[in-house]
Amino acid sequence: MAAQRQIGAMRLSRVEEMMIPLIEAGKMFAAFTPEHETVHKDWLSPTYFDPQSKRLNMSIHTWVLRTDHHTILIDTCFGNQRNRPGFRDGHQLDTPWLHNLAAAGVKREQVDFVLCTHLHIDHVGWNTIEENGRFVPTFPNARYLFSKADFDHYNAENEANPERPAQHGAFNDGVLPIVAAGKADMVGAEHAIDDNLLIRSAPGHTPGSITMQATSKGEQGLFTGDILHHPLQVWHPEWNSRFCVDPPAAAKSRRRVLEHCAEHHALMLPAHFAAPHCGYVHRQGDAFRFEFTR
């Protein structure tokens, strides 16, 4: 559990599901070469890159934002005991995520909103838990905010090929039960939770990837989901991950997010950066550099 932070008067904490060397750097980013290990050696290894396995160290976590009025979870990881034989890192997990959430001072009944920045397997898992053989909303009093573009995309994928359910089955057990329970709100290009919390479209990684901007007392944070998977993409904003469905749009959204964070001194809060998990973006010529917070 990371130490609590503040965005103005808002309280911010992080609930970790796992921290692992997830994928080989060259498989995640086609442009990655051994030269990049040398260029970025002052910060890259061993915290963000495992030099032995050549894998990128990545965290799977949820951001918890508490305002005077709302408790909001941003992304809900893989979930436990899910049958994902085609996705080893999310298959039949047994993690203390719910315990970690309680340790952060959040009861399930206290959550007002669950925001999924996109509907990938590692962002919707704890939306639901299994009770009496069926998946039900984990947070009974919450509204779940889903991108309509993502929902439509994966719903169509599901219907087109039911033998291969979308996102290794995560759409079926992490998204559809929320819709069936009447707890889903589909958001479009822009959606305000209140005057200080603004959701915006940032497509490319998925058709409907979104960000959430939090503003309080002159400070700002930006929850970016997987628009950036790894700090390397701050220095190389043209790098798309292997999982980006629309590479040109993903690169455009990434640069727009980086420019916004640099211009507004917004704390950038991605979904997968290793410790310290967030930081500030600064311009460096035509690209950017990252200031890791402590």
* pLDDT tens-digit map of 25-52: 999 999 999 999 999 999 999 999 999 9
Whether residue 1 is predicted with pLDDT greater than 70 in this model: the reply is: no
At 110, list the tokens: 């206290």
The residue extents of the domains of the chain are: 5-223
**pLDDT band at residue 185 using 50, 70 and 90 as cut-offs:** very high
Give the model's confidence band at 107: pLDDT under 50 very low, under 70 low, under 90 confident, else very high: very high
The mean of the pLDDT values for the chain is: 96
Task: Give the domain 5-223 fold.
Answer: Metallo-beta-lactamase; Chain A (3.60.15)
Tokens 């940032």 belong to 202
- pLDDT band at 268, cuts 50/70/90? very high
Rounded CA separation 63/1 (Å): 11
Contact 134, 178 (CB under 8 A): no
Nearest in space to 76 (alpha carbons), one of 7, 146, 23: 146
- pLDDT of residue 3 exceeding 70, the answer is no
**What one-character DSSP code corresponds to residue 55?**
E
Structure-token pair, residue 167:
């996102």
Classify residue 190 by its DSSP letter. E
* Token pair belonging to 140: 């009974």
Is the pLDDT score of 264 beyond 50?
yes
